[in-house]
Structure 1
Amino acid sequence: MRRALVHRIATAAPDDVSGLEEAIAAGRIDPAGIVAILGKTEGNGCVNDFTRAFAVSALTACLAKHLPGEAVAGIAMVMSGGTEGALSPHILVLECRDVADEASEGPALAIGVAHTGDLAPEHLGRMGQVWLVAEGVAKAMHRAGIEDPADVHFVQIKCPLLTAERIAAAEARGEATATRDTLKSMGFSRGASALGVALALGEIEAHAMNDAAIGTDVALSSGRASASAGVELANHEIVVLGMSKAWCGPLAIDHAVMADGIDVEPVREALTRLGFAAAGQLSPDERQRLVALLAKAESGSTGRLRGARHTMLDDSDIAATRHARAFTGGALAGLTGLTELFVSGGAEHQGPDGGGPVAAIAARAKGVS
């Protein structure tokens, strides 16, 4: 059987790998078992946020001391820029170990990873990207041993964006990109990636999607997709998280969908299903069991939240995604008592307009299956 481990490690800077190196030296992490690393870096989360690439470079160099190059290349490294408010920079190291058959109540956390081929710039934000991601999600599910899409609780994707150079390359071939606005390309890429997840999980049928709907039809969404766009790659790195009887160990995952940036009650219900009291903010003892919380944050398209006007979409100095991360991050921190939260901004087709999916990974309380 396989057993999943998730290690949350604080970072002092995008290139800080000291915590990872210490955990490897102490034997808490086996480098050969690492399948993915998710991280929050303190950049702006926009097109020119190279803290993501900086972190990937540092992690790659660190792991190259312990693993051959092809093994390091097979690890999905999903860095999400932006720790606005009091969100705390950190990494989540996802590890898989083969173990002797363990007695385990019910299924356990399962992890599957896939890398797609490079995406041509002219396909970004269009159905070509949707189909590419859907194929990648199916591969990651297979590698995780998850057969039923209902057992998938979260799909984290790192997707590419457009730069002036990539746009020019497409146009030199006589192709046109979905947009020439590099910042808007992030939303197109996140949206198409999310619809790829929805297609793979059977949340939306293919006939309901087309190029024109991507980024515009807010009725189309996945309740389990989380996509983060970055300049540091041209392909997609896909991490599927779910539950499987082929996996053992104490870790479990559940998910919820927030209707808006402060809709914490569905998250509280998911925590309750994982065995938390969750009547108020989690107690210090309970916080020890909460290994990770992953969430999408979105300002929404209406400029209003529960009828009241907000200015996230009108601020010309700070991108709306940055406001949304801080806003939703604060709400979730108030619920959990933690600030090391993987809150990613920009939730196009990821949950309802203005809301977003959330996943909690926790060590099960005794007696909770």
Structure 2
Amino acid sequence: MMTSEADVQAKVYRLSMAHPGDLSALAELLATGELAAQEIVAVIGKTEGNGGVNDFTRGYFTDRLMHLLSGYLNETPEALARKLPCILSGGTEGVLSPHYTVLCRSAAKAGTSESNPALAIGAACSVDMPFDLVGTRDHAVMVAQTVRAAMADAGLTDPGDLHFVQVKVPCLTSGRIADLRAAGRAVPAPNAAVSMARARAAGALGVALATGEITEAQLDDAAFLADFDLYSTCASISSGVEVLCNEVIVLGMSAAWSGPLRIAHRAMEDAIDLPSVQGVFQDLGFGPGAQVCAAERARLKAIFVKCEPDQSGQIHGARHTMLNDTDIDPQRHIRGAVGGLVAGVAGETRIFVSGGAEHQGPYGGGLIAVIAEAGDPQTEGAVA
């Protein structure tokens, strides 16, 4: 995609929503000309659904988004949905606030002469996923191919420049499982819940394959949800019934991009890994205080987190009850807990916190990535 140094720059808009179909903030940006629809590469958001198989808030938002953009892009909503990733995670437990982040790229301003790497954005969608391959090795290979396409879209050639890879993968439903059985085809998961987990595993290991964190020889169906020594340090995977293909968004740093935006990420060793959370903000030049001060919060443009209840049932040697609670799903517990931890450091509640971190970061942990405007060059860490 890149043709010369610093010929493009990223723009990021984090917008609040009053309900799962509220696109009024984006509509105003488009109507006033602050943002051109042609600049939008992808959308990542948090809706106030349950995050489960039957979380239809995600599909509702996507449908509303595609209808809004179709009026500007002269394409049908159905056509746009097949090429513009809209990756949503349901569940805004605790202090988390419903919002969506619009990722854009535009021509660099005239006279740009920056040499520092800046935020780079790329996206790609695969062909529709055959349901008998969802959550399998073949699924992971397809994700890896789509990640490479998204990297090419961003002009990124070195996987080491990646900081966050967001993927949305399809899953099976009871109806899809019944159709597979009726057709005599393989059924890769016994139910929808297991299918969502296996699909996330396939997505994560597909990212790891594309980045070189694992080899094709290590990619085996038997490793899914079993060998947690295999993982990606920059993958965030969501699964849902509202998508039929694999949608991929890559965020990295590149000298071929200009502008003030930077991204950094760190792995989280567990759900209360405060040093890693504080560290990623410090990497971006925020002060060492317990919470980002009010004067600096305007620099924050997006915060993305992946987390998982530790399957051992313990955190730092003490028992947790998330896995045994039949009233509240474990993923809702962990989103609320980790969301509160990160919000306390950021001083901000519009945070994308997604559960289901199988093979995404260390076992029982996850990852955090932050986009911010460049800070003081004397204090900003190396994030290239």
**Superposition TM-score tier, normalisation by shorter sequence:** over 0.9
Matches within 5 A, 1:245-260: 245-260=255-270
Give, in angstroms, the shift of residue 101 of structure 1.
Answer: 5.2
**TM-score of the superposed pair, with normalisation by structure 1:** 0.97
User: What does residue 353 of structure 2 align with?
Assistant: 343
Q: Are 2:280 and 2:368, in contact at CA under 8 Å, matched by a contact in 1? A: no
Aligned residue in 2 for 1:28: 34
Aligned CA distance change for structure 1 residues 267 and 101 (closer, same or farther; 3 Å): farther
> How many Å separate the matches in 2 of 1:105 and 1:360?
21
Distance (whole Å) between structure 1 residues aligned to residue 186 and residue 216 of structure 2: 23
- Counterpart of 1:17 in structure 2 is 23
Q: Runs of at least 4 residues of structure 1 off by over 4 A?
A: none
User: How do 1:200-215 residues align onto structure 2 when only pairs under 5 Å count?
Assistant: 200-215=210-225
Partner residue of 1:67 out of 69, 73, 76: 73
Letter in structure 1 aligned against 2:80:
V
Bigger shift: 24-33 or 158-167?
24-33
5+ long unaligned stretches in structure 1:
none
Is structure 2 residue 173 aligned with structure 1 residue 167? no
Is it true that 1:315 corresponds to 2:325 in the alignment?
yes
- The equivalent residue for 1:290 is 300
Q: List aligned pairs for 1:328-367, cutoff 5 A.
A: 328-367=338-377
- Paired AA for residue 343 in structure 2: A
**Distance in 1 of aligned mates of 2:357 and 2:188:** 18
Q: How far apart are residue 270 of structure 1 and its match?
A: 1.9
Say yes or no: does 1:132 pair with 2:153. Answer: no
Q: Which amino acid aligns with 1:72?
A: L
Contact 1:296 1:344 in 2 (8 A): yes
The alpha-carbon deviation at position 105 of structure 1 amounts to 4.3
1:315-352 residue CA offsets vs partner (Å, 9 max, x unmatched): 11221111111111011011111110000110000011
Paired with 1:366 and 1:102, the residues of 2 have a C-alpha distance of 19
- 1:8 aligns to what? 14
Shift of 1:198: 0.3
Q: How does 1:132-281 map to 2 (within 5 A)?
A: 132-281=142-291
Describe the superposition over 1:110-163 as per-residue Cα deviations: whole angstroms up to 9, x where unpaired: 001000111112211110111000000000001100111000000001111110
Deviation at 1:29, TM superposition (A): 1.4
One-letter amino acid matched to 2:349: T
Q: CA deviation at 1:277?
A: 0.8
SS at match of 2:146: helix
In the TM superposition, what is the alpha-carbon distance from 1:290 to its structure 2 partner? Answer: 1.1
Separation in 1 of the partners of 2:349 and 2:374?
21
Unaligned runs of 5+ in 2: 1-6
Percent identity, aligned pairs only, is 46
3-state SS, counterpart of residue 322 of structure 2: coil
| Matched letter for residue 16 of structure 1 | D
* CA spacing shift, 1:101–1:142, aligned 2, 3 Å: farther
User: 2 CA distance for matches of 1:24 and 1:224?
Assistant: 31
Q: How many residues align?
A: 369
Distance, in Å, in 2 between the alignment partners of 1:279 and 1:203 is 34
Tell me by how many angstroms 1:24 deviates.
1.5
Distance in 2 (CA, whole Å) between partners of 1:101 and 1:341 is 34
Q: Secondary structure at the match of 2:177?
A: helix
Partner in structure 1 of residue 56 of structure 2: 50
Deviation at 1:366, TM superposition (A): 4.0
What is the Cα-based RMSD across aligned positions, in Å? 1.3
Contact 1:255-1:267 at 8 Å conserved across structures: no
Q: Taking structure 2 as the reference length, what is the TM-score of the superposition?
A: 0.94
Q: 2:103 aligned with 1:91, yes or no?
A: no
* Greater mean alpha carbon deviation, residues 165-174 or residues 335-344: 165-174
